[in-house]
A and B are shown apart, each in its own frame.
Chain A
Amino acid sequence: MAKVISFLTATRGKGRLHWTDWVSYAYLAIGIFLMFGPVIWLVLSSFKTQNELDRFPPRFLPYAQETVELDGFEDPLILFTVSRTSESEVAGETVAQTRRGAGRAEVVRLDDPETRIRLPAVDLQAIESVAFATENYTQLFERFNFLRFLWNSTFITVVATLLMLLVNSMAAFALSKYEFRGRTTVLLLVIGTLMIPQTVVLVPLFLIVTELGMFNSLWGVIIPGAATPTGVFLLRQYMITIPDEILDAARMDKASEWKIFWRIIVPLSAPAIAVLAILAIMWRWNDFLWPLIVLTRTENFTLQLALNSFQGELQTDWASLLAMTVLTLLPIAAVFMFLQKYIATGIASTGGK
């Protein structure tokens, strides 16, 4: 308790909480609510049954009706409490419902499943408990080609990231460790591509990708984005700091240039490469506009495209949509949890996201 109090009354070192501290903490509290709230609400909702999702006003936690399995009945029976004011013989007891219709219900006592008792349905109150329904998730795999979308997204992300790391680090190596005529021109060209985001060359890009036979192919998404100015610059800045003496020593030992690149430069640039890898995974997993143009057949859809197209088709099927949304954000959330520090520094240092 003392800890809590000292935490709450932490000050700017003068003993009392300044009013600006209060304002700061109030702002941060609202921040937590606004930033985390929506995502927590999404995750909680994705564990609700369709019944529960249709409920208005909604409840915070997911609930499910309690059921019981009794001898002589194939399906589990829903449990109810009979209200105390009921005129039937089971007033105040817990019963299992066997049938319901036209305002009346047929119930049995739990210890006596043989005797059916009939009573007005209004006397029954469902017994509910907090329960996380996983059907929304399991039915994704049954009803949709979910694994296919997951595979497409994963394939694109992994292959594109590896390709990008290789291509960009090769270019960065050439630009940081070699003296050759035209180096400045190449650097300017790379800066020039900064000014050409994909969004402004969609039409010709589409033609080129189609002509190369990559329309409706995952490669059409992977290859055009493999070279990035951000990646080249990030890696070049890092490689410049590697002392040339190491390279000279390797050359004395008759190592080939490729070996120097692969065995010395790449391992020494690991921190920068890791940052770029995280950025690339994020870009590719979340990519939307270009895949939307290149991939038009459902079997080629990435998770993002599938999610977007289903939200149009299944407007009322929030149960599936919510579960799919959670599964789509899960990998990125996992990456974030473990690699938070690198992500923050990576994004701040490159200005790219």
Chain B
Amino acid sequence: MLHVISPIMRVIEIPMLALQRVLGINKLAWVFLFPNLLLFGLFAFLPVILNVVYATTGGDNVLLADRPYVGPRNFGTLMDCSNYLDPNSCREDKFWRAVWNTSWFVTLQVGMMVCFSLLTAVILNGEIRARGFFRSVFFFPVLLSPVVVALIWKWILQREGVLNAFLDWTGIGGFNWLVDAQWAFGWSVFISVWAHMGFYTLILLAGLQAIPRDVYDAATMDRASPWRTFRRITLPLLAPTMLVVLVLALIKGVQTFDEIYAFTGGGPGTATTFIIQYIYEEGFAGAPRLFGLAAAASLLVALVLILLTLVQLWANRKNANG
């Protein structure tokens, strides 16, 4: 590998040296920054601006010149609802179904995720054997691709799958899990917790290990019960880390798409269609391609994410400062 790269680097050195002579050492920093900033500009900042343009124009053409200005009409379409709690009363009912599905999903998924990762982290932090092994047991699904996660569980949950075989054997009887709206939703929450909890466990475990031992020793001296120690020492000292985990999980949860899309395709019906899938389908999968609606919905999601990210940055800083 290195003997391929080294000559390339030597070639780059020639123009870089020339630039160094012209600009001087400190201005050369901009040259080092240039590729990264160009990419950020083209693929992050420019899109944010264009997103606003798309959201305020109509039609199904992707080229900006061919898109008529419609003002806030796209937002109007999304928000046209006589009762926001009931998607059927909305003009863009699919959007509101996706919004409510996502809200429920995020609530349940983040709740379960935080509980189980905390429980796992506390147990892994105890005096157990083979901690490294157990840590990787819980962690490895994080590395699996969303499609692989979806297929692993589809294979288990299919009509003639191993779970139904087991339920048949116990006498409860099998069930067509992914055809039932509520079960499909429940399993979506489950596989998403299964796939990601290892990541949060890891962060919480790091947080637990940062709590000084002598605090616990003092508690033991005072004959505090395990539960009391947990509630009065572990939880308060872990709070900053918990906040980071909570916000991170929320940010990822709102953007849930790929594993559920591969798992249920958003169905049955729209039972597991989440907001990113709505954006994808309006903008890219359906005909006509309603880029305006997709962009307007993206802006609303972006708003939520920006708020959450600001909280995250604040939480990170708080966590770092102890």
Question: Interface on A for B, CB 8 Å cutoff?
Answer: 7, 10, 12-13, 20-21, 24-25, 27-28, 31-32, 34-36, 38-39, 41-42, 45, 54, 56-58, 166-168, 170-171, 173-175, 178-180, 183, 186, 189-197, 199-208, 210, 223-227, 232, 251, 256-259, 261-262, 282, 285-286, 288-289, 292-293, 304, 307-308, 311-312, 318, 321-322, 325, 328-329, 332-333, 335-336, 340, 343-344, 347-348, 351, 353
Contacts and interface: CB of A to CB of B under 8 A. Distances in A.
A170 B36 contact: yes
A202 B279 contact: yes
A230 B136 CA distance: 23
Given A200-B301, A348-B203, A343 B39 contact: no
A30 to B, nearest CB: 11
Contacts of A39: 141, 144, 152
Contacts of A311: 147, 150-151, 154, 262
Given A58-B162, A174-B29, A204 B46 contact: yes
Contact of A199 (B12, B150, B168, B276): B276
B258 A288 contact: yes
Given A57-B169, A208-B43, A38 B147 contact: no
8 contacts: A178-B26, A195-B305, A200-B299, A227-B36, A304-B145, A307-B262, A348-B203, A351-B244
A205 B43 contact: yes
**Most chain B CB neighbours (cut-off 10 Å) among A178, A204, A321:** A204
Interface of B: 9, 12-13, 16-17, 20, 25-30, 32-33, 35-37, 39-40, 42-51, 53-54, 62-64, 119-120, 123, 126-129, 134-148, 150-156, 160-162, 165, 168-169, 194, 199, 202-203, 206, 226, 244, 248, 255, 257-258, 261-262, 265, 276, 279-280, 283-284, 291, 294-295, 298-299, 301-302, 305-306, 309-310, 313, 316
A292 B279 CA distance: 13
Contacts of A12: 127
Contact of A336 (B42, B51, B135, B143): B143
A328 B148 contact: yes
A34 B226 CA distance: 27
Nearest to B26: A180
Given A288-B258, A307-B147, A174 B129 contact: no
Nearest to A287: B145
Given A7-B129, A197-B255, A206-B62, A42 B155 contact: yes
A304 B47 CA distance: 26
A20 B156 contact: no
Given A196-B48, A202-B298, A10 B156 contact: no
Contact of A38 (B26, B50, B152, B206): B152
Contacts of A322: 151, 155
B128 A24 contact: yes
A224 B291 contact: no
A127 B199 CA distance: 46
A347 B199 contact: yes
Contact of B145 (A10, A173, A329): A329
A307 B148 contact: yes
Contacts of B129: 7, 10
Contact of B119 (A27, A36, A289): A27
A293 B39 CA distance: 19
A32 B138 CA distance: 8
Contacts of B151: 42, 307, 311, 321-322, 325
Top 4 A-B pairs, shortest CB-CB distance: A204-B50, A57-B165, A171-B36, A201-B47
A248 B64 CA distance: 51
Contacts of A328: 145, 147-148
B146 A286 contact: yes
Nearest to A336: B143
B26 A179 contact: yes
Contact of A180 (B29, B143, B161): B29
A12 B39 CA distance: 54
Contacts of A200: 51, 298-299, 301-302, 305
Contacts of A224: 39, 42-43
A293 B62 CA distance: 14
A344 B123 CA distance: 18
Contacts of B156: 38, 41
Contacts of A41: 152, 155-156, 162
A340 B306 CA distance: 32
B143 A351 contact: no
Contacts of A21: 126, 128
A321 B257 CA distance: 21
Given A200-B301, A203-B291, A304-B147, A344 B139 contact: yes
**Most chain B CB neighbours (cut-off 10 Å) among A32, A195, A207, A288:** A195
A343 B13 contact: no
Given A201-B44, A210-B62, A227-B37, 4 more contacts: A58-B165, A189-B45, A207-B50, A353-B142
B211 to A, nearest CB: 16
Contacts of A344: 135-136, 139, 202
Nearest to B126: A24
Contacts of A202: 279-280, 283-284, 294, 298
Contacts of B141: 35, 39
A25 B137 CA distance: 14
Nearest to A278: B143
Contact of B152 (A42, A168, A318, A353): A42
A224 B47 CA distance: 11
A57 B168 contact: yes
Contact of B143 (A34, A56, A332): A332
B71 to A, nearest CB: 18
Contact of B295 (A173, A197, A203, A333): A203
